[in-house]
């Protein structure tokens, strides 16, 4: 299982400058947990203390807002691309 997680530059700074990282997991939540385990500084910027998506980022799986797909319960599979976008933009 190999999922690509794309990071905005503001988060890349917390991942040693990596603009994308590889993760494993069957759900988005598992993939995020995997990333957080390897990049501890990213963890609190991806999920809150309750284990929910952090309120200032939005996750997309293959360009679809995961809030329409069950949030962290959204299933992911090999080859999927997860994109993290800061929540404060647009409008």
Give the residues lining the site for other proteins (CB under 8 A).
Answer: 8-11, 13, 45, 54-58, 60, 63, 65, 67-68, 83, 85-91
- Shortest CB 29 distance to other proteins, Å: 17
Helix (H) or strand (E) holding 10: helix 9-12
- Output 17 or 90, the one with its CB closest to other proteins: 90
Supply φ then ψ for residue 84, to 5 degrees. Answer: -105, 130
- Shortest CB 75 distance to other proteins, Å: 19
């Amino acid at each position: 299982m190999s999922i690509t997680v794309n990071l905005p530059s503001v988060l890349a700074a917390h991942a040693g400058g990596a603009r994308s990282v590889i993760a494993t997991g069957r759900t988005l939540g598992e993939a995020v947990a995997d990333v957080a385990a390897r990049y501890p500084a990213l963890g609190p910027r991806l999920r809150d203390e309750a284990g929910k998506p952090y309120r200032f980022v939005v996750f997309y799986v293959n360009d679809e807002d995961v809030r329409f797909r069950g949030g962290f319960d959204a299933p992911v599979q090999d080859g999927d691309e997860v994109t993290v976008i800061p929540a404060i933009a647009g409008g």
